[in-house]
A and B are shown apart, each in its own frame.
Chain A
Amino acid sequence: AQSVTQPDIHITVSEGASLELRCNYSYGATPYLFWYVQSPGQGLQLLLKYFSGDTLVQGIKGFEAEFKRSQSSFNLRKPSVHWSDAAEYFCAVGYILTGGGNKLTFGTGTQLKVEL
């Protein structure tokens, strides 16, 4: 069974500083990997996804992530954090189901706080 680990429950960074959120996964085949962001009391918004190809993927809001198969990691990065980036971030691994649809397994999330 697949699993996702986000080792950092809370992270605090200063506005303008760089950010890296860690994600490690366990999955037997080539994974589909995602980062979602959630503001308080809201649904999840997709930041970026990796299906195949270039291991460095670009997303919305200036985020990027790098897939490293040897380390089973898919860390999220941003060069300069803005106060509006404060939110909870979820990493997920997924696979396609026979018959259509898919199944995602989520990590427990990392809460990002941005200090002004």
Chain B
Amino acid sequence: DGGITQSPKYLFRKEGQNVTLSCEQNLNHDAMYWYRQDPGQGLRLIYYSQIVNDFQKGDIAEGYSVSREKKESFPLTVTSAQKNPTAFYLCASSISGVEQFFGPGTRLTVL
């Protein structure tokens, strides 16, 4: 079945540690996105990538980094520079149109 997978579903991190969230898609979509979701704030765009080896900052990129070495994969690293990383992280992808398809999400908790 085609879709977007995110792993792990739950992730715990100690303060000061970097952590990487995985996002894989087998939809053959060119564009991929990372969002952060906090209660009462909707979804906010962190980074997006329109093609392999290229990505752009979204609205809240500080403290995050990404790579896009393969079309299918768009991992997100939450660095120690991110002051408040506890949140629900959603990955999405899209083809040439405007509709985005979402993965199941990863909940990151900083201990």
Q: Do A and B come from one complex?
A: yes
A101 close to B90 (CB less than 8 A): no
B21-65: which residues lie under 8 A (CB-CB) from chain A?
30-31, 40-45, 48-51
A12-69: which residues lie under 8 A (CB-CB) from chain B?
32, 34, 36, 41-46, 49, 51
B105 close to A102 (CB less than 8 A): no
**Complex contacts, B43 vs chain A, CB 8 Å:** 44, 90, 104, 106
> Interface SS of chain A: helix, strand, loop or mixed?
strand
In the complex, what distance in Å separates the CA atom of A101 from the CA atom of B101?
12
**Complex contacts, A32 vs chain B, CB 8 Å:** 98
Tier of interface size on chain B: 20 to 34
**Complex contacts, B30 vs chain A, CB 8 Å:** 100-101
In the complex, what distance in Å separates the CA atom of A99 from the CA atom of B108?
32
B42 close to A41 (CB less than 8 A): no
Tier of interface size on chain A: 20 to 34
Q: Does B104 contact A (CB under 8 A)?
A: yes
Contact with B along A1-16 (1 / 0, CB 8 A): 0001000010000000
B residues in contact (CB < 8 Å) with A = 4, 6, 30-31, 40-45, 48-51, 88, 90, 92, 94, 96-105, 107
